[in-house]
Amino acid sequence: MPEFLSLSLPEPGLDRWLQSLPADRRPAVEHVPTEGALGRVLANDVQAPHPLPPFARSTVDGYAVRAADTFGASPSLPAYLHVIGEVRMGEEPALRIEVGQAALIHTGGTVPPGSDAVVMLEDTQTMSEGEVEVLRPCGVGENILQQGEDVQENEIVITAGCRLRPQEIGGLMALGITQVPVAARPRVGILSSGDEIVPPDQELGPAQVRDVNSYSLGALVAQLGGEPILRGIISDNFEALAAAARISHEEDDLVVITAGSSVSARDITSEVIASLGEPGILVHGLAIKPGKPTILAVADAKPVVGLPGNPVSALVAGRLVLTPTMRYLLGVSQEDWQPQIKARLSTNVASETGRQDYQPVRLQRREGQLLAEPVYGRSNLIFTLVRADGLILIPPEATGLPAGQEVDVFLF
């Protein structure tokens, strides 16, 4: 297996569809307080209004000096300097260091005018009031953080499309930027179709099951930075599904329909998707398992996705398709690195060639080894995924993987 396998091997259909989405789309922008912007995607480049640090600062506790005054200093022949005062934290230094002078300074303090180096306290000795002995020479700039060493004035410090992490939040605050323009959370309409499906708060009739996909896909959308818009449970007929899909297509940035389970219900779903706009369905079926009956369409420049109705297929294929789709809608510019856990297969895993198999696995430590144990279950069984920690990918050319094989586990 390639060393840096991503969660999805390139899937020709998915890639083709992603390429066909309008390249010039710009997400809607909203301004939010930086304090609460964790995980949001920056909509515009941010420029530094001033340098950081804003002034030269000491990186140690010690004495601000003129470096030249310490040349040749040693424990046996110290440089004697006259201490003219103390640089107080947060206050502009009122003093100026002249030849033969020094001032006490604390870590983070403003380097006073006239001085060009800071001697560490450990390299000094105080013998008499108002005088300090410097025991070693100090180079120009030593123990000083220069103005602009972190960030220059007007430098672009964070580029559009960056997902904000704790360090970006902190960095923006350091620059006094307390509001940031971010991509609005894309609205993702989710339609669940099926005559047997009822809402979760309803008692089950004898042939009914509750809606799973609206909520698992809704949580997935939220995880990926979108706003799920639950469009409800629609019965398996063209008119009802088409009416609901049209509203979602009009109001949302992405339409996701989970098809009813039967072939005829799937046919209705694909007819509805085809009816939403041009060019219509671009991909009908992906070479993946689970998730083969996935439909990828573009209707009047908006992406539309049809996912299988089985909860496991819907969630596994949904993650695969929606991860890059949400990146597109949010305008994410950097690569989303896919971290993995390396583990060894506890048993052989069978697979068919010609398709990418996503096998749920549970991680277990046994005798100092990390094992990936396949969790089997048909794709109707949502708790199969509850029992799993992640997925392994069996590439299309493989007929399976042997016990003991090292695999990359992609956590959910």
When binding is defined by CB under 8 A, the residue of 7, 18, 240, 382 that contacts a second copy is 382
Cα(249)–Cα(39) distance, integer angstroms: 26
The one segment of 95-103, 250-258, 299-307, 338-346 that binds a second copy by CB under 8 A: 338-346
Residue 174 interacts with a second copy (CB under 8 A): yes or no: yes
Residues 83/131, Cβ–Cβ less than 8 Å: yes
Q: Return the amino acid letter for 321.
A: V
In sequence order, what are the residues at sequence separation of 6 or more whose Cβ sits closer than 8 angstroms to the Cβ of residue 91?
none
| Pair of tokens at residue 98 | 């002249």
Backbone phi and psi for residue 42, each to the nearest 5 degrees, phi listed first: -60, 135
Residues 349/376, Cβ–Cβ less than 8 Å: no
When binding is defined by CB under 8 A, the residue of 1, 242, 247, 363 that contacts a second copy is 363
Q: Which is nearer to a second copy, 194 or 374 (CB)?
A: 194
Residue 202 interacts with a second copy (CB under 8 A): yes or no: yes
Bridge partners (DSSP) of residue 357 are 289, 394
The one segment of 7-15, 17-25, 150-158, 395-403 that binds a second copy by CB under 8 A: 150-158
Q: State the nearest-atom distance from the C-beta of 395 to a second copy, in Å.
A: 17
Q: Which is nearer to a second copy, 155 or 352 (CB)?
A: 155
Grouping H, G, I as helix, E, B as strand and the rest as coil, residue 189 is strand
What is residue 147's DSSP assignment? T
The one segment of 129-137, 207-215, 249-257, 276-284 that binds a second copy by CB under 8 A: 207-215
In sequence order, what are the residues at sequence separation of 6 or more whose Cβ sits closer than 8 angstroms to the Cβ of residue 24?
none
User: Which residues within the stretch 121-140 sit at the binding site for a second copy (CB under 8 A)?
Assistant: 121
Residue 222 interacts with a second copy (CB under 8 A): yes or no: yes
Q: State the nearest-atom distance from the C-beta of 299 to a second copy, in Å.
A: 26
The one segment of 21-29, 243-251, 297-305, 386-394 that binds a second copy by CB under 8 A: 386-394
User: Which residues within the stretch 5-64 sit at the binding site for a second copy (CB under 8 A)?
Assistant: 34-35, 38-39, 50, 52-55, 57, 59, 61
Give yes or no for a cis peptide into 279 (omega within 30° of 0): yes
Residue 142 interacts with a second copy (CB under 8 A): yes or no: no
When binding is defined by CB under 8 A, the residue of 28, 99, 140, 219 that contacts a second copy is 219
Q: Which is nearer to a second copy, 4 or 399 (CB)?
A: 4
Residues 234/218, Cβ–Cβ less than 8 Å: no
User: Which residues within the stretch 276-295 sit at the binding site for a second copy (CB under 8 A)?
Assistant: none
When binding is defined by CB under 8 A, the residue of 158, 160, 307, 401 that contacts a second copy is 158
When binding is defined by CB under 8 A, the residue of 68, 204, 301, 403 that contacts a second copy is 204
The one segment of 13-21, 78-86, 183-191, 388-396 that binds a second copy by CB under 8 A: 388-396
C-alpha triplet 289, 233, 262: angle, nearest 5°: 45
When binding is defined by CB under 8 A, the residue of 24, 91, 278, 397 that contacts a second copy is 91
- Of 305, 200, 300, the residue nearest 259 (C-alpha): 305
Tell me how far the alpha carbon of residue 216 is from its chain's centroid.
20
Residue 205 interacts with a second copy (CB under 8 A): yes or no: yes
Q: State the nearest-atom distance from the C-beta of 182 to a second copy, in Å.
A: 14
Alpha-carbon separation of residue 393 from 5, 175, 309 (angstroms): 9, 44, 22
Residue 193: CA atoms inside 13 Å, Cβ hemisphere, count?
A: 32
In sequence order, what are the residues at sequence separation of 6 or more whose Cβ sits closer than 8 angstroms to the Cβ of residue 398?
351, 353
Q: State the nearest-atom distance from the C-beta of 61 to a second copy, in Å.
A: 5
| Pair of tokens at residue 21 | 């989405």
Residue 92 interacts with a second copy (CB under 8 A): yes or no: yes
